[in-house]
Amino acid sequence: MAKKTTRTAAGLRFGIVVARFNQRITGKLLSACTDTLARCGVAADDIQVVRVPGAFEIPLVARTMARTNRVDAVICLGAVIRGDTPHFDYICSEVSRGIGQAALETEVPIIFGVLTTETVAQAEERADQQQFNRGGAAAQAAIEMVKVMRTISGKDRKLESGEPASQSGRMRQKGKR
């Protein structure tokens, strides 16, 4: 079993873009996300929540938020549930592509916390506060990615594990893998 580490995120700032469509699901994702950030030491003033009509609108707002330089990471939350038409496929494809593109363009971690499920029951299971809520997982991924990006950029001297940031690079230079 892997050792569980406590992540401290005090002083980090997060933007959350959450879709209003499927509010019964996305509300639970948002609650778990903000609870996780708070448990990790993020102050309420360091969390900016923006609500958008649906999942399709998430990438534009996430990219805009990332470009403000007022957040260290953006967390995207939504729920797209398959229906009787191909609309599901188009939305899922464009949302995932847009979020990924926004992260690459801005070089700010933008976390994909959008559920893409076949049924409402699957979405409810992934948003269940008593189980593994994907909103909380998205918050944890955001914290980790901020730390990774800071380590790479030299802003943090050590990885969360305590390993010197340059150790893996030295090993490769010596020909060891």
Give me the domain span that covers residue 148.
14-173
Predicted confidence at residue 166, as pLDDT, reads: 38
Tell whether the model's pLDDT for residue 159 goes beyond 70: no
Predicted confidence at residue 132, as pLDDT, reads: 81
Instruction: Evaluate whether residue 155 is within a structural domain.
Output: yes
Predicted confidence at residue 157, as pLDDT, reads: 56
Report which of residues 123 and 6 the model is more confident about: 123
87 has catalytic annotation: yes
Alpha-carbon distance 134 to 139, whole Å? 9
CB 102 within 8 A of CB 62: yes
CATH number at residue 19: 3.40.50.960
The model's pTM: 0.84
Looking at the structure of the chain, the number of domains it has is 1
Predicted confidence at residue 7, as pLDDT, reads: 55
Average pLDDT, the chain: 87
Predicted confidence at residue 102, as pLDDT, reads: 98
DSSP 97-108: HHHHHHHHHHTS
Alpha-carbon distance 146 to 152, whole Å? 10
Instruction: Evaluate whether residue 6 is within a structural domain.
Output: no
The single residue of 67, 87, 97, 172 carrying the catalytic annotation is 87
Instruction: Evaluate whether residue 3 is within a structural domain.
Output: no
Other CB atoms within a 10 A radius of the CB of residue 131 amount to 10
Report which of residues 162 and 102 the model is more confident about: 102
Instruction: Evaluate whether residue 8 is within a structural domain.
Output: no
